[in-house]
């Protein structure tokens, strides 16, 4: 039976099953986008700090002090797949109860944006034996596996039964509004971390930002694993269900001092329009215009 779990508790459980990848020296161009694993000095002067993301300016700086390699945490390899009998690939006609497979496209590109290597599995397994075979084939190239199912989570039990064949799995029901059940655990001979996300794309993306992104950042050895947040003035009142957290898609003003919640929160388009989440606590059911609220920043231009 699924246990009800708070957001912070679930994140702690996920971080406990992942760790920074082993450090090694990478050629400069290959190191781009990875995380620096050691402080770098020019003589006695510290010029780059361990835990920072290696960007073009760091590559140039390293070259300017005569380094052709940098000590890095490698890019984690993340396998993303979807499972369910009613999922079909975009570009084909739908029939009956079928729905377009959305989450693997969304999550694969989200993984890349964090700085990991993402592998999207192109098959969509619809029974336990097939799904088990696909997962086992992927273990050789995975530091982390992400699985999601159908929009109404009809395939959640299929995914859960299959994962239980492969390792120790815990099912949780998160205290997040409009979310769903999640699995996590370690599978295969190397105890590879695995996480299953809700089938609904909005819920899947929110869970990715809250939980999977920090896992990947931890594997990278990053200093800061969470999105930055600010306090901003709420431009329009919002309501939230009691006893659960809500993450309202919103647009943050250019000066980051005010935030406007988007209309039609159930629409997928709010994900592409949003530049921030408004984080609403479990005990907050109404926030008024003018209130100061916590805003999780999704776009780098505000940082």
The total number of structural domains in the chain stands at 2
109 assigned to some structural domain: yes
Residue 1 pLDDT > 50: no
Q: What is the pLDDT of residue 42?
A: 94
27 assigned to some structural domain: no
One domain, residues 90 and 158:
yes
CATH number of the CATH domain containing 272: 2.40.340.10
Q: What's the average model confidence in pLDDT over 48-76?
A: 94
24 assigned to some structural domain: no
28 assigned to some structural domain: no
Of 184, 203, 220, the one marking the end of a domain is 220
One domain, residues 202 and 293:
no
For the chain, the average pLDDT equals 91
32 assigned to some structural domain: no
Percent of the chain with pLDDT over 90: 71
One domain, residues 163 and 203:
yes
> Mind listing the pLDDT tens digit for each residue in 239-261?
999 989 999 999 999 999 999 99
Q: What is the pLDDT of residue 92?
A: 86
One domain, residues 233 and 155:
no
One domain, residues 110 and 189:
yes
Write b or e for each residue in 10-22: b if 16 or more Cβ atoms lie within 10 A of its Cβ, otherwise e. Answer: bbeebbebbebbe
39 assigned to some structural domain: no
CATH number of the CATH domain containing 192: 3.40.980.10
Q: Nearest-CA neighbor of 113 among 12, 217, 25?
A: 217
> Mind listing the pLDDT tens digit for each residue in 134-148?
999 999 999 999 999
Q: 150 or 265: which carries more pLDDT confidence? A: 265
> Mind listing the pLDDT tens digit for each residue in 68-105?
999 999 889 999 998 887 888 888 888 888 888 899 99
Q: What is the pLDDT of residue 162?
A: 94
One domain, residues 202 and 242:
no
Of 195, 220, 245, the one marking the end of a domain is 220
The encoded tokens of residue 24 equal: 């090694």
Neighbours of 247 (CB within 10 A): 26
State which residues form the domain around 244.
Answer: 229-302
38 assigned to some structural domain: no
One domain, residues 199 and 281:
no
C-alpha to C-alpha distance for 9 and 245, rounded to whole angstroms: 13
Q: Which long-range contacts (CB under 8 A, 24 or more apart) does 46-53 make?
A: 49/223, 50/221, 50/223, 51/221, 51/222, 51/223, 52/223, 53/115, 53/220, 53/222
One domain, residues 136 and 158:
yes
Asked whether the whole model's pTM tops 0.85, one would answer yes
Residue with tokens 């998160």: 174
One domain, residues 81 and 205:
yes
C-alpha to C-alpha distance for 86 and 124, rounded to whole angstroms: 9
One domain, residues 153 and 249:
no
Of 150, 185, 220, the one marking the end of a domain is 220
212 assigned to some structural domain: yes
One domain, residues 91 and 158:
yes
Q: What is the pLDDT of residue 2?
A: 46
One domain, residues 10 and 147:
yes
């Amino acid at each position: 039976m699924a246990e009800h779990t708070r957001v912070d508790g679930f994140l702690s459980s996920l971080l406990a099953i992942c760790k920074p990848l082993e450090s090694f020296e990478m050629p400069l161009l290959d190191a781009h986008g990875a995380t620096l694993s050691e402080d770098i000095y020019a003589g006695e002067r510290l010029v780059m700090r361990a835990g920072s993301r290696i960007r073009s300016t760091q590559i140039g700086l390293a070259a300017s002090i005569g380094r052709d390699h940098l000590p890095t945490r490698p890019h984690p390899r993340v396998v993303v797949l979807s499972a369910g009998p009613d999922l079909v690939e975009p570009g084909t006609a739908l029939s009956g109860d079928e729905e377009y497979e959305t989450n693997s496209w969304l999550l694969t590109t989200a993984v890349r944006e964090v700085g990991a290597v993402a592998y999207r599995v192109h098959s969509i397994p619809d029974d336990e034996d097939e799904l088990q075979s696909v997962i086992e084939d992927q273990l050789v190239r995975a530091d982390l596996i992400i699985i999601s199912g159908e929009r109404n989570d009809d395939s959640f039990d299929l995914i859960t039964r299959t994962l239980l064949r492969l390792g120790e799995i815990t099912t949780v029901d998160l205290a997040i509004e409009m979310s769903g059940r999640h699995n996590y655990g370690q599978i295969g001979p190397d105890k590879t971390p695995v996480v299953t996300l809700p089938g609904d794309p909005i819920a899947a993306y929110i869970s990715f930002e809250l939980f999977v992104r920090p896992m990947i950042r931890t594997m990278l050895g990053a200093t800061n694993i969470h999105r930055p947040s600010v306090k901003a003035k709420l431009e329009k009142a919002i309501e939230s269900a009691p006893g659960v957290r809500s993450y309202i898609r919103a647009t943050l003003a250019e000066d980051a001092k005010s935030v406007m919640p988007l209309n039609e929160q159930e629409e997928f388009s709010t994900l592409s329009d949003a530049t921030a989440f408004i984080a609403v606590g479990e005990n907050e059911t109404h926030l008024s215009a003018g209130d100061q609220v916590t805003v999780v920043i999704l776009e780098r231009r505000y940082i």
